Amino acid sequence: MRWIAVSALLVGCGSESGLYSGLHPDDAPTTSEPAPVPPEGEASLKGLVCTPNGNGGVAGATVTVLTDDPVTGTTDQDGRFRIDGLPPGKWDVEISKGSFVQDYTVKLVDGQVTNLDPGERCVPLDQGDLKIAVVTGQYDKIQDLLDQLGLDYDIVKGITGNDHVQFLRDPAALAKYDLIFFNCGLAENWTSYRDEVSANLKDYVKNGGSIYASDWAYLLVERTWPDEIDFLGDDTNNWAARVGTQQKLTADVLDPSMKTVLGQDTAKLSFDLNEWATMSDAKADVMIEGTYKYQQNKVKTADGPLAVRFESGKGTVIYTSFHNESQTTGDMLKLLSEMILSL
């Protein structure tokens, strides 16, 4: 994935929508004791990093003050950071999260704490020239989350017709985008060209593109990177893995950034539809795992991944058995938002 470097404008946050884990600056908790001031000869930098539309803080963003000896900090669950022990002076500051990299300039004063935003509100991530495509599906609407995060994207029709087939068969069309989201329930007429499509997707990710796919869109991942995820059942049977039953479960969160976002190492997940695609194991990095129920003649239980991530060449692939729309819980919204911003 190519990095996007921009000179960002310092703008205030909008109202908190509840989608993401951060606090609106106006809702920040107050304390009776003021934050400690730096000792003589040192300075501190603090701030709040928020989503592109200012709807909430962004956890796990890296903030680097480019002094002669660069110093790095990380935003907390609410998107806040404070870096102490800095030399006074005028320094560049870099904020990075996934495909977002933004540059600021700040003047640090001896013995004082400086807020990165002089208005003491928040510094939003900026999409810059990052290009995003969403392939629509019958059962998923990742675009709703992109809207709530303030990200722009192009739509590729995938429920009916051949728009998505033509898109997948055209390497030049794929290469226009840095991130591509495949919703659950896109028409599977692309499988008539599965070898061509898989070769194109493999090259796309190898060259730096990143992909997110959910639930039934697993076929794109399985056919292209068959060794990364072991889906339940016979991998040559398109329906063999689609045996998950309607259920709610508490999953274990393994990914450190997701733990930070949630403030805990478990998440409540909801599957309100039957026949979701199940994973039994993965060579890929497992971000979320749990014990789930599935139906094969009778109801059974299995332990397996529910969300995985792997690198291929310069790009990244994320796959989740769960998706958004009506089945999302508050935890799932936070997790999905973290996945989007980390690509």
State whether residue 276 is helix, strand or coil: strand
Average pLDDT over residues 269-278: 92
Between β-strands 43-50 and 113-115, what pairing exists: parallel, antiparallel or unpaired? parallel
Q: Are 69 and 91 in contact (CB under 8 A)?
A: no
Sorting pLDDT into bands at 50, 70 and 90, what band is 169? very high
Domain boundaries, the chain: 4-124, 132-342
What mean pLDDT is reported for the chain? 86
Q: Are 85 and 119 in contact (CB under 8 A)?
A: no
Instruction: Return the pLDDT at 324.
Output: 66
Instruction: Return the pLDDT at 10.
Output: 27
pLDDT tens readout for residues 26-45: 444 444 456 788 777 889 99
Residues paired with 76 in a beta bridge? none
Instruction: Return the pLDDT at 325.
Output: 61
For 204-238, b/e burial (b = at least 16 CB within 10 A) is bbeebbbbbbbbbbbbbbbbbbeebbbbbbeeeee
Sorting pLDDT into bands at 50, 70 and 90, what band is 120? low
pLDDT tens readout for residues 176-228: 999 999 999 999 999 999 999 999 999 999 999 999 999 999 999 999 999 99
Distance CA 168, CA 133 (A): 12
Sign of the Cα pseudo-torsion (223, 225, 227, 229, in order):
negative
Average pLDDT over residues 7-12: 28
Average pLDDT over residues 306-310: 96
pLDDT tens readout for residues 225-256: 999 999 998 887 888 999 999 999 999 999 99
Instruction: Return the pLDDT at 23.
Output: 37
Instruction: Return the pLDDT at 108.
Output: 93
Residue 18 has pLDDT above 90, yes or no: no
pTM higher than 0.85, yes or no? no
Instruction: Return the pLDDT at 156.
Output: 98
Query: What homologous superfamily is domain 132-342 in, according to CATH?
Result: Class I glutamine amidotransferase (GATase) domain (3.40.50.880)
Instruction: Return the pLDDT at 315.
Output: 95
Domain 4-124 -> CATH class = mainly beta
Sorting pLDDT into bands at 50, 70 and 90, what band is 2? very low
pLDDT tens readout for residues 77-115: 889 999 999 999 999 999 988 888 888 899 999 999 999
Distance CA 122, CA 288 (A): 30
pLDDT tens readout for residues 48-59: 998 888 878 888
Q: Can you give the length of the chain in residues?
A: 343
Distance CA 276, CA 242 (A): 5
Average pLDDT over residues 110-126: 85
